[in-house]
Structure 1
Amino acid sequence: MILGSLGRQGNPHTLALVERRLEARGIPCVRLLLSEIFPAKLALMSDVDCWVQVACPRLSIDWGYAFPRPLLTPYEALVALGARDDWHATGAVYPMDYYAKDGLGRTRPPAPDDVDKETKEVPGLRRPAGTAVGAG
């Protein structure tokens, strides 16, 4: 799992959503925080079978062929995991806009199935104890 840190491309809610789906399937994953995603950088980690990047969807669509392993968008990963319908099946457009109202977490609060029912938090997004937003 790659969370983009360049500008506002990365979306922690989307990252957590995909990670939870992987975990439910027993698929191990590692988390990377990258400002730029380059084929040579990912090639250094040859034991990774597939990448899911939560950054710019055009990286996967326009430049995916240049990467040594599949570089999926969150949507593609969720379709592969059976958590989203394939856009062909629904007759919808191919979703690339994470800023959309119904996007994969960009402008909406986490969906009910994204939230841990006991802690009321999105797994993987817990703030370390003793910290607060804006604390300096």
Structure 2
Amino acid sequence: MGTVVPALNDWLRTRRVESVLDGRRHRVTWKALPQDRAPALTGTWWVAVPTGATQDSATADCVRALRDHGATPVLVELDAADTDRTRLAARLRGLTPKEQATGVLSLLALAETPCVAGSALPLGLALTTALLQALGDTGTRAPCGA
């Protein structure tokens, strides 16, 4: 009993100190905001897709979602040659002013084949890297989701 009482006393003192400290700590809580309406998008959104993926169901779903929320989607189909950032930047500059991006949605990860024969690097990753570099090279300030 002589060793248990001091141990319990120490434990109780520690809990009181921790309780006071817990009351002073910064707390973060999340509160859902009411959703009165669907989120609205505006302007032209480039949808970057790998060659052959324009008819993919994921592409169709994303284009439909953008359109349903007010955006004007423009498909930008990229192939292995577009891993060259200079070439891709020139292509992006060549889009008409009406098609300049308000936002960019990249579905390039759909290209899972190797970038070059014998490589473990997926083409989609190489294209995504080149796209981000080309957007910077052209001064495009649109948000990009990948």
- Return the TM-score normalized by structure 2: 0.37
Q: Which has the larger radius of gyration?
A: 2
- Return the TM-score normalized by structure 1: 0.40
Instruction: Identify the structure with the greater strand proportion.
Output: 2
